[in-house]
Amino acid sequence: MTSVNDRRVTVWQNKINVNVKVAGSGSPVVFLHGAGGLQWGEFLDSLASRHTVYAPEHPGTADGDPDAIQHLDTLWDLVLYYYEILDALDLKSVPVLGHSFGGMMAAELAATNPARVSKLGLICPIGLWRDDVPVTNWMIYTPANEIVKILLYDPEGPLAKMMFGQPDTEAIIKTIWSMACTGKFVWPIPDKGLKKRIHRIQSPTLVLWGKQDKLISSVYAQEFASRIPGARVELIDKAGHLPFVEHPARFTGLVEDFLRA
């Protein structure tokens, strides 16, 4: 088990004290979590065996600091805020992986200033929209206690039971607030203009998607890849919206190959 440390970094006119989870050693990799908040699991552990993994927690989602979100109002604020975090961590040009909401942010970072993102790994990102395949609105999914059905390929299996079997009120509070803080930048439709900026991405890009993702269909993999020069797609079979949790070994292999190449 890798030891994961909390590193506090102060940015944004000293108003936000970001918590960055840091683990491992080796060349740096940044991971941006999805709307549900950062959960450190097997995938990040494996990644940390060869890399130094930096995983910042979205403003407002770190323990004890729910109001940090009040200091950022727009997507533009949030993009610039991330560059300040990279500055504070002394990461001039770094591979950035992002999942779902974090995937959209990773793409925005790479499109806004291509020099800051050396490689881009998009894991079932939001950020584009097709009327014929709308993205499920995860913030109002009902019944909420069945959200596992749109997150996992197998909502009945042992992984589902482990992750969702024992509802824990404090964990639910954390998840709800994380959705509130990330939702600030994408409500009510997660299409905030990335399609106009995405062509600016220059970094080698890997788009990873659970083939049976029910939250955001894997048809979006091609939507992203077709707009990013040279992007490659890997669909992970028998996986939903959390492919790195559902098949951590296979997933880590794909990411490692990409980072090494």
Partner 1 sequence: MYISAFQLMPHRELPADFEKRYQSIWVTPPFHELADAKRVGQYYNWTLDELIASAKAGADGICTNEHHQNAYGFMPSPNLMGSVLARATEGLDCAIVQMGATLVASQPPTRVAEEYAMLDCISGGRLVAGMPLGTAMDMNLCYGVTPIEQRDRYREAHDLILKAWKSREVFAWNGKYTQLPMVNLWPRPIQEPHPPIWVPGGGSTSTYAYTAERDYCFCFLSYFGYLSAEHSVKKYWEVAQQKGRDTNPHRLGFLQLVGVSETDAQAEKDYAEHIEYFYHKGLHVPGEWIGVPGYQDYQSMANTMRNPIIQNAVNSLKDKRYKDFIKEGFVVCGSPATVRDQLKEMSKKLRVGNLMVLLQIGSMPHELTLKNIDLFFREVAPALRPIDEEWENRWWPAGLRKKSLRGATV
Minimum CB–partner distance for residue 15 and partner 1 (Å): 16
Measure the CA dihedral 91/58/238/152, to 10°. Answer: 170
Kindly tell me the sign of the dihedral angle through the C-alpha atoms of 110, 112, 116, 118. Answer: positive
Per rule CB under 8 A, is residue 64 in the interface with partner 1? no
Residue at 160: amino acid letter: A
Q: Which among 128-136, 166-174, 193-201, 219-227 is the span making contact with partner 1, rule CB under 8 A?
A: 166-174
Please count the other Cβ atoms lying within 10 Å of the Cβ belonging to residue 119. Answer: 19
Kindly tell me the sign of the dihedral angle through the C-alpha atoms of 207, 25, 62, 76. Answer: negative
Q: Which of 2, 80, 187, 191 binds partner 1 (CB under 8 A)?
A: 187
Minimum CB–partner distance for residue 68 and partner 1 (Å): 11
Strand order in the sheet with 27-32: 4-11, 16-23, 51-56, 27-32, 94-99, 117-123, 205-210, 232-236
Q: How many residues bind partner 1 (CB under 8 A)?
A: 24
Per rule CB under 8 A, is residue 188 in the interface with partner 1? yes
Considering only residues 76 through 135, tell me which ones interact with partner 1, judged by CB under 8 A. none
Per rule CB under 8 A, is residue 66 in the interface with partner 1? yes
Per rule CB under 8 A, is residue 69 in the interface with partner 1? yes
Dist. CA 37–CA 62, nearest whole Å:
9
Please count the other Cβ atoms lying within 10 Å of the Cβ belonging to residue 175. Answer: 18
Q: Which among 82-90, 182-190, 225-233, 251-259 is the span making contact with partner 1, rule CB under 8 A?
A: 182-190
Q: Which residues bind partner 1 (CB under 8 A)?
A: 60, 66-67, 69, 73, 139-144, 169, 172-173, 176-177, 179-181, 183-184, 187-189
